[in-house]
Amino acid sequence: MKDVGKMSPVQRLALITIGIAQLFIAVDYSSVYVAMPSMGADLGMSEVSLQWIITAYGLPFAGFMLLGGRLVDRYGAVRTFVFGNVAFGAASVMAALATDGGLLLGSRVVQGLAAAVLSPAILALLSVNFPDGPNRSRAYSIWGAVGASGLAFGVLLGGGLTEISWRWIFIINIPLVLVCIAGVLKISDAEKHGDENSRVPILSTTLGTASVLLLVLALTFVGEGTSDAAPIAVTGAAAIIVTIAFLVNERRSRTPLVDRALRKISTLRRGALGAALYMSSVGTEFFIITLYLQDQRDYSPVAAGIAFLPLAAFVTLGNIFAGRLLKRLTVARTLGLGFAISAAGLLLLAFSLSIESYWIALLPGFVISGLGHGMVYTSMFVLGNTDVKPELSGSAGSLITASQYSSAAFGTAVLTIIIVAVQGSAGFAWGFGFNALVAVAGIALAATTRLRGAEVSEAEAKDSEAVPSMS
């Protein structure tokens, strides 16, 4: 490019296309939180089953993301992006037309699978269309801002559309998908790697996803409070067997899901663990808050969406603050500080629910936990990629995200058990207490993390400001 300070028409088209795709993935995830109670009431879903509206999306997204990265390498980013958009659009139509909970959950599964394919394709297209220079930094910053703002916009949009009908939060995806497909056909594709006849880790992906699915299903049976222990015992035993099978296959397979080179990187292992603790603390906060606001305080969907805005806004500010803090502190200290702030906000919420005023009881906790949320999200990705070679960065990022969403399923199931077992506001207070306890574990993780390089470079810190936070 002759003028590195100015984007070409193709680059502008690429950024618009990628940005729209990133936006509807973020919005679709966060808007569902506010719409859950309305979906449950309309489709006759119990309070215990509502968690599956989130889990049915998050588990396939987590489990198949590494496979999605392999598909991008094998078939190219454009083809994979088109396929992901078509699947996401079809699933959105299915969800909008769902007449019972089973059809809705099935649609969410397909959406999660489509998102697992889309996310690696988005990153690949971003990389190839903005290879270097100031335009690359600008593109990543815009992409990050879209992802982070999509979180806030999603809860507000979800609340507004749910006032008309929750089905509109899925219908609105259709024109966006069509725009993305039309735009991607005119931009540069990522280079393919490997033979199209090479093997992809389908067995490892299926076993890994099934192990988490069975564990969450067992926890769901616990949450239902059934007197019959057989379903719990059977699904629990199946979860153990499938997990063992996954670990054995990963050890012996020629095409493991997690690259063997990645397993040896200590900072990546700790980054993935940090992602798991993040998602079971402040990451699942949205789930418990939406139920509390609408079930206990009788907020309408749009009022709940507005109430969420300070939390979502401070998540974005936390991302920015962490990026600047990383220039002065080690990533371990920044991560620990983020978890500490998160724990403080969650505990404040746990002890304030008896106060009727939103401004006194909820807003301070939202602000503090939201700030910590954004700080942890940025720090865990920087930590996870500290010692990762450039050629493995895509797989490393996918592994961290997979840990994040797998933990979301587990954390949501535990919160559901607590809320159902302890009725009323007390159940939600204990739920926030569980989230805070997990955040304390995150502080311990950060405190025991030792890095070979004490400081994160200024370049890494700048890149970290562009990372979007999507719980």
Quickly state the pLDDT bin for 466 (edges 50, 70, 90): very low
- Average pLDDT of every residue of the chain: 84
Quickly state the pLDDT bin for 462 (edges 50, 70, 90): very low
pLDDT at 360: 93
Quickly state the pLDDT bin for 456 (edges 50, 70, 90): very low
The answer to whether residue 288 scores a pLDDT higher than 60 is yes
Amino acid identity for residue 429 in this structure: A
pLDDT at 468: 46
Choice among 28-32, 212-216, 337-341, 345-349 with the minimum mean pLDDT: 28-32
Quickly state the pLDDT bin for 459 (edges 50, 70, 90): very low
What is the mean pLDDT of the segment spanning 343-357?
95
Ranges 19-33, 179-193, 275-289, 342-356, most confident = 342-356
pLDDT in tens, 48-85: 888 889 888 888 888 888 788 778 877 888 899 999 99
pLDDT in tens, 144-154: 667 666 766 78
Q: What is the CATH number of domain 1-190?
A: 1.20.1250.20
Our CA dihedral for 358, 362, 364, 368, rounded to 10 degrees, sits at: -150
pLDDT in tens, 240-267: 999 999 999 888 888 787 878 888 889 9
pLDDT in tens, 88-137: 999 999 999 999 999 999 999 999 999 988 888 887 887 778 776 677 76
The answer to whether residue 426 scores a pLDDT higher than 60 is yes
Instruction: Work out the number of other CB atoms within 10 angstroms of the CB of residue 256.
Output: 18
pLDDT at 295: 87
The answer to whether residue 389 scores a pLDDT higher than 70 is yes
* Residue in the structure block whose two tokens are 């735009």: 183
What is the mean pLDDT of the segment spanning 158-181?
92
pLDDT in tens, 207-241: 888 888 888 888 888 877 666 788 889 999 999 99
Structure tokens at 15: 């950024």
Class of the CATH-defined domain 264-471: mainly alpha
**Domain assignments of the chain as residue spans, ordered by start:** 1-190, 202-256, 264-471
pLDDT at 141: 64
pLDDT at 460: 46
pLDDT at 348: 97
Quickly state the pLDDT bin for 87 (edges 50, 70, 90): very high
Quickly state the pLDDT bin for 337 (edges 50, 70, 90): very high
DSSP for 272-336, written as a single string:
HHHHHHHHTTGGGHHHHHHHIIIIIS---HHHHHHHHHHHHHHHHHHHHHHHHHTTTS-HHHHHH
Quickly state the pLDDT bin for 346 (edges 50, 70, 90): very high
Amino acid identity for residue 245 in this structure: A
Choice among 69-83, 189-203, 365-379 with the minimum mean pLDDT: 189-203
Residue 444 or 148, more confident: 444
H or E segment and range at residue 118:
helix 101-129
pLDDT at 81: 92
What is the 8-class DSSP label of residue 267?
H
pLDDT at 181: 94
Task: Examine domains 1-190 and 264-471 and report if their fold is the same.
Answer: yes
pLDDT at 190: 58
Choice among 295-299, 309-313, 328-332 with the minimum mean pLDDT: 309-313
Picking from 372, 331, 365, the residue whose alpha carbon sits closest to that of residue 349 is 365
Structure tokens at 441: 């574990």
Choice among 272-276, 302-306, 429-433, 443-447 with the minimum mean pLDDT: 302-306
CA-based torsion, 166, 167, 170, 175: positive or negative: negative
pLDDT at 223: 76
Residue 355 or 146, more confident: 355
